[in-house]
Amino acid sequence: MKSKKIKGLYAVTADEANTEHLLSNAKAALSAGINVLQYRNKTASKQLAAEQAEALLLLCREYNVPLIINDDVELALKIDADGVHLGASDGNLRDARKKLGEDKIIGASCYNRLEIAQFAAQNGVDYVAFGACFVSGTKPNAPKADLKLFTQAKQVLDLPIVAIGGITLENAPSVIQAGADAIAVIGALWNVSDGSAGDAQAIQKTTQQFTQLFGQPI
């Protein structure tokens, strides 16, 4: 069942113009145990986005990890990615389902609003995301979502619930405790470096630390 794949550490890529760097970072996270990867690059041209998404898809296939495309149903269709993530201004959920078919994963941003999640669930999404849980360096103006929302959502929704926004190794336990099935992370995963060993090793170590919070083996 495809929605069962949405759990644990859900890595979301940072805006990265250097494809080699993007791929080596992604490989580090994949090799250390992320469960889902979302390609999100708000600064790429259409051509760069297509190239980067295609290269990430090949890498994800090696690790049997689904690749979700942010915002762009057409790109997901073009490269046969595993799904899309859509926010309030990214198009209609039913239209996306019609285009992508039943086998693809569709996720919806629900911000801090349970009723958006209920609407998304009625419109056939495979997971819902709430945020921002904490102040996010990536998206400083994102509206805040109270962690109580996860507990409430869990009681009324029968879908995986993803938490996003400012999640770090320190605050992730409170989000998981509140009921999130997955945590979506950008800054605290990719903006790490241990100085000597390089980015890839630091990303691997951070991935393992996040994954252990869910009680999964490393």
Ligand X SMILES: Cc1nc(C(=O)O)sc1CCOP(=O)(O)O
Ligand Y SMILES: Cc1ncc(COP(=O)(O)OP(=O)(O)O)c(N)n1
Chain residues that interact with ligand Y, rule: CB under 6 A: 12, 38, 40, 70-71, 85, 87, 90, 107, 109, 129, 131, 162, 164, 184
CA distance 145 to 110: 10
Q: Is 191 helix (H, G, I), strand (E, B) or coil?
A: coil
Nearer to ligand X, 13 or 204 (CB): 13
Residues in the site for ligand X, rule: CB under 6 A? Answer: 109, 111, 131-132, 136-139, 142, 164-167, 185-188
Residue 167 carries which side chain, given as an amino acid letter? I
Does 18 carry a binding-site annotation?
no
Nearer Cβ to ligand Y, position 168 or 201?
Answer: 168
Contact of residue 162 among ligand X, Mg ion, ligand Y, none (CB under 5-8 Å per partner type): ligand Y
- For tokens 């760069």, name the residue: 48
Tokens 């998404």 belong to residue: 53
| Residues 20-42 as b or e (16 or more Cβ within 10 Å = b) | eebbebbbbbbebbbbbbbbbbe
40 is catalytic: yes
| 90 among annotated binding-site residues | yes
From 29, 34, 68, 71, residue interacting with Mg ion (rule: CB under 5 A): 71
Which one is catalytic: 2, 139, 144, 205? 139
Give residues 72-101 in contact with Mg ion (rule: CB under 5 A): 87, 90
Q: How far is the CB of 46 from ligand Y (least distance, A)?
A: 16
Residue whose CB is nearest to ligand X in the complex, by number:
131
Is 2 among the residues known to form the active site? no
Q: Give per-residue burial for 83-122: e unless 16+ CB within 10 Å, then b.
A: bbbbeeebbebeebbeebeeebbbbbbbbbebebbeebbe
* Residues 71, 43: Cα–Cα separation, whole Å: 13
Phi, psi (degrees; rounded to nearest 5) at 67: -105, 120
Asked if residue 70 belongs to a known ligand binding site, the reply is yes
Residue nearest to Mg ion (CB): 87
Nearer to ligand X, 102 or 169 (CB): 169
Pairwise CA distance, residues 133 & 121, whole Å: 21
Known catalytic residue at 196: no
Going by the annotation, the residues of the binding site for Mg(2+) are 71, 90
Residues catalogued as catalytic: 40, 109, 139
